[in-house]
A and B are shown apart, each in its own frame.
Chain A
Amino acid sequence: MKRLLLITLCSLLPLAGNAMTPEEQGLEIAKEVDRRDTGFHDFKATMTMLLRNKHGEESLRHMRTKALEVEDDGDKTLIIFDRPRDVKGTALLSYSHKTGADDQWLYLPALKRVKRIASRNKSGPFMGSEFAYEDLSSQEVEKYTYKYIRDEQLNGKDALVQERYPVDPNSGYTRQVVWVDKVEYIPLKIEFYDRKKALLKTLEFKSYKQYLDRYWRASEMFMQNHQTGKSTLLTWEDYKFRAGLKSSNFGKNSLKRAR
């Protein structure tokens, strides 16, 4: 199956190179990335964030995440915070959408209440880190327009370099440059450009591991802010694919029970 895919792709791409505009090529790459990552159904994992400022101060955040693939729409994700202790048990539920703003709810155990995050703009930092929610949320093809730029070697790997432009006018970015592994179609590096089109951040994906013989996940994602000198290292562990999660695990009312 996999070999067949590769063969078709290899025969397709050079052809495509001649026939398609850079925009169409870029879109094809994004679709291929998405296609290769569909069908996992659900997964669980733990996340650790190491925040560091220019002064060298560090801080840790621990959380667990659960995700459910939704047919014909964005994924549903649930993030449960374990540390710092004063936010333990807080849970963020997101319904990502192919078009329009994502829906988000936050359960606050101190209040024992679920609050909808009613902001039209969710591009702020995630837990004070250098990741914005939009960097972490499910990367639906429809959220960007694309343009293929060039082929390039990155750390000894052949990569396709494409630019993508956020569709959401509230995005914090005007442009992202993505290096996609030419063989596995997984992102290797992303550069984020801010509203004044200046380089803001660089995200590097490291230590990819393959799950279920198909789905690649980076164990480390390192985000460097070039303007403030702050950085965040996001570490993923204990991936479990097809863990038997169901839609009922991702309901608003399930938030209070999320542990």
Chain B
Amino acid sequence: MKERFFRFILDRKYLVILLAFIATFAMAAGMKNLQFSNDYRMFFSEENPQLTAFEQLQNTYAKNDNVLFVLAPKDGKVFSRKTLSAVEELTKAAWQIPYSLRVDSVTNFQHTYAEGDDLVVDDLARNAASLSDEDLQRIQEIAVNDPLLVHRLISPEAHVTGVNVTIQLAEKKLTEVPEVAGAAQQLAQQIEQKYPHIKIHLTGMVMMNNAFPAASIKDMKTLYPAMFAAVLITLALMLRSIPGTFSTLIVIILMVLGTMGITGWLNIKLSPPTTTVPIVIMTLAIADCVHILVNFLHGMRVGLAKRDALLESLRINLQPIFLTTITTAIGFLSLNFSDAPPFRDLGNMAAMGVILAFIFSISLLPAMMMILPVKAMSTDSRGSRAMMHLAEFVIRHKIKLLWVVGGSILFLIAQIPNNRLDDQFVKYFDETNEFRTATDFATDNLTGIYLIEYSLDSGEAGGVSNPEFLRNVEAFAQWYRQQPNVLHVNTLTDIMKRLNRNMHADDDEWYRLPDKRDLSAQYLLLYEFSLPFGLDLNNQINVRKSATRFIVTLESISTQQMLAIEESAQQWLATNAPGMKADGASPSIMFAHIGNRNIRSMLKGTTVALVMISAILILAFRSLRIGGLSLLPNLVPIGTAFGLWGLLVGEVGLALSVVSGMTLGIVVDDTVHFLSKFLRARREQGMNAEDAVRYAFSTVGTALWVTSFVLMLGFAILALSHFQLNAGMGLLTAITIGLALVADFLFLPPLLMLFGGRTK
């Protein structure tokens, strides 16, 4: 049956090639549907509790996706006529940005003061160009001393200022984000042209969302050509066969087109993690092709006819390649356990890719080799001679190796706890990214982008005016302001205190919370009647006036620090104001939990994959003992890689949480190839364990190290990604594959020789 299938492929080669191309074109037509996701929420599943909490908060008040214009005048003075004019102009123009809900700046800040018996509410700066020096001085005093402004829209030294635009996307089209970002960029340029002494940096959540596709496209432009070049060179060097290299390239190209096409048909949105898929599957496809071609070329060298050599190669490779395809696919499919949808997509796309690669490498590849002229080359035994030396070395020192390698493994595994969770989403982008540099500038000079938000609930309608509740909120704000790394606290109580002072003829004595509920409520009412369009309190007070939004801005701190602060905040609330206890919610909090959540879910996924793969191996090898033994070399690489990472880097996060599942399927391949050869020698040729190890080394040793090298190279290229999630994932995967090879060469053979059972 197998033989008949292969003969069909070799004899009807033109038909096979035609069918392969037609099928690929049908699949690739789906690529027209491919689109980039541009929303940081893509990293969170719908059931993610932190996302749900944040969405709830946003639905209660208002969304707070934003664009933050950071204006840095070269003379370091925000409160000059020309700079303030620029701020005023930008503030007015920013209302024209699509989907904008409100614009906040130092010029349109609703300053309140008493004038006789009246409460005056007005823009802090109006007609900036005509302000006197005294006016400017006065405005600066007010701005840098207002707790609502300083560290949010104005730096304490008044050298940098911000214009914050709140954006509420309709979330109907993918073009909304680039539309907003484009309008913001254009506006920034206009202002810079008109006021050449000002440099504008653009940050905020919308700009970050816009940076995702940009980073992906940049990655494609740099990584894909690099990968292609690497593939070409290694193939040429390894196979030393132009037809072999050419056919492999065709297989790889068709497989990538097919995979991306199906992705399009399935309407999976591209994201930074999934842009790595072509590279990942290219690497894996090479392994399949190399195994077949190496054996084929070997057959030609020993004098077989072309057709016979291909038939023989397909015969001995079908089972291991099929097995490795299945195990690799299972490994990738285990990514469906991830809480982050882009990694599920990555797993599914890669699984499709390896299956396509399998199909093409046993059909299209041999068909093309039949057509292309292949010359039998002189024997090249350098590789296999080195392998024989390695085999002898391993056999001679099997006991020592077991101790030394085993000890190193244990040492490395013991280093795993050195890894700390860290997912600072700004750092997902490297320093070549415009969003990253703008954000770094903003955090260094003006305000932070990491926020924690609370909806503090008084428990009764209208309760935001309750003096006791307000005192608790104020105490919470004071506590937060004393914490390290806290830049800004936005709280309703600051407005209340200001209004109370205004109502008492701006007497500083009265800069305190009103002591009666109806007083607070009526101040608020008066204030709200005085506010202009878009600058209302609806983003701070809910409709029942029972709860208020409380926003803490933090410096760029690690996930650990962020979680520690939120934890102490929870403790403070529990002891001092249990009634208004609320979990902090925000994108920063969501990302702070995502690493942990994913590691837990991926542990489950990896375990399931491991059980399935082991079961497959036990069935395939028809040996419980060998299947069980294979667990060790399959698990060791992942454990030691994380240990090594703990020693060298020490930071893990979202991207690395998926490496275990992903690499499991790949490292199993080496084990499968080695074991299948070992068992063939034992069972078919009745060799003893040592000879079987020699046989395994000589038949698959070269192919193993060559494919591992290609795999490491492919994943190492990912380390060049401008997107840190991909870079870390690529690097750790490359390390894991390297360690897997070490384990297969130095650890598995001693295990087999000592515990592999007797000869049948």
Contact = CB atoms under 8 A, between A and B. Distances in A.
A257 interface: no
A127 B525 contact: yes
Given A110-B519, A172-B534, A58 B97 contact: no
Among the interface residues B465, B521, B529, which one has the most CB atoms of the partner chain A within 10 A? Answer: B529
A90 B530 contact: no
Contacts of A110: 516, 518-519, 521-522
B532 A118 contact: no
A122 B529 contact: yes
Contacts of B59: 53-55, 229
A109 B530 contact: no
Nearest to B517: A86
Interface in A184-205: 194-196, 198
Contacts of B516: 110
A57 B543 CA distance: 7
B532 A123 contact: yes
Contact of A111 (B95, B100, B461, B503): B503
A228 B168 contact: yes
Interface centre among A53, A124, A127 (most CB of B within 10 A): A124
Interface in B675-726: none
A57 B60 contact: yes
Nearest to A104: B529
Nearest to A92: B529
B120 interface: yes
A122 B516 CA distance: 27
Interface in A112-131: 113, 115-128
Interface stretch (B111-119, B147-155, B226-234): B111-119
Contacts of B62: 228
B529 to A, nearest CB: 5
Contacts of A55: 56, 59-60
A128 B117 contact: no
A230 interface: yes
B122 A119 contact: yes
Interface in A74-88: 81, 84-88
B524 to A, nearest CB: 9
B537 interface: yes
Contacts of B536: 124-125, 128
A51 interface: yes
A110 B465 CA distance: 13
Interface in B504-562: 516-523, 525-526, 528-538, 541-545
Contact of A109 (B170, B522, B542): B522
A13 to B, nearest CB: 35
B526 A117 contact: yes
Contacts of A64: none
B470 to A, nearest CB: 13
A85 B543 contact: no
Given A111-B503, A124-B531, 17 more contacts: A54-B60, A57-B542, A59-B545, A84-B462, A86-B462, A106-B525, A106-B526, A108-B525, A116-B118, A117-B526, A117-B530, A118-B120, A120-B122, A122-B529, A127-B525, A128-B538, A195-B95
30 contacts: A53-B542, A54-B59, A54-B60, A57-B60, A58-B543, A84-B461, A86-B462, A87-B518, A87-B525, A106-B526, A108-B519, A110-B516, A110-B521, A111-B519, A117-B529, A118-B118, A118-B530, A119-B122, A121-B533, A122-B532, A123-B532, A124-B535, A125-B536, A127-B525, A170-B532, A195-B95, A196-B98, A196-B100, A228-B168, A229-B59
Interface of B: 56, 59-63, 95-101, 115, 117-122, 168, 170, 461-462, 465, 503, 516-523, 525-526, 528-538, 541-545
User: Which are the 3 A-B pairs with shortest beta-carbon distances?
Assistant: A172-B533, A86-B521, A123-B533
